[in-house]
Structure 1
Amino acid sequence: MKKTFKRTAKLQYERWIDSVKNEVRKYLKRERKKKLPEGTDYWDFECQYGSEQETAKAIHVAELIKYIDQAAAQNRESFYLQILAKPRIRSKQGTAPQKDSAN
């Protein structure tokens, strides 16, 4: 999803923000339900947020709603949001190095 969300005059501001959040959540849910390519474990999302496409910066998927709330707090009339789903393989965490107990 690459989209510039613009407020229309017919929606109240709070209602518009709620509809944007709902659209983002629905998109994430829909993408996570897609079948994973063979050899991958999960869907990762590369996200960008900004006032315009050219000024967008990378953010974590867990921060999407927080940035939408910040836009609401700043009374922005529009903002750009990009969410791209990428299949990934989980990296295995190694065991913690054991301390040498010999003193």
Structure 2
Amino acid sequence: MGKDQLVRINYTNRSISDAEAIKNYLLYKFTQREVDKFFHLLEIFESVILTFPELYPKSSINKKVHRAVLSKQLSVFYTTSKYKISIVAILDNRISTSKWP
């Protein structure tokens, strides 16, 4: 991806649902501070993959999808194309791999 090309990040419906579920869980069990940390972590992740889209390894389950481990508890799954990075899912690392995209 060249510097003169505009690459955009797209969140799928699943990834938006995943983020909402994580947000609701954090608000239920913790505080707004943890929610803010979660969204800040996603912002940092976005800036990293815009610069280095192939940085994270491909998933062992699906070779078309990259898996970025953002924390002990959180992984983001995404795909890349010439002008778009699609966030496919945002999952807790403690769930079964059968739920991975």
Shared fold per TM-score greater than 0.5: no
- Length-normalised TM-score, structure 1: 0.30
Higher relative contact order (CA 8 A, sep 6+): 1
- Length-normalised TM-score, structure 2: 0.30
The structure in which a higher percent of residues are helix is 2
Structure number with greater Rg is: 1
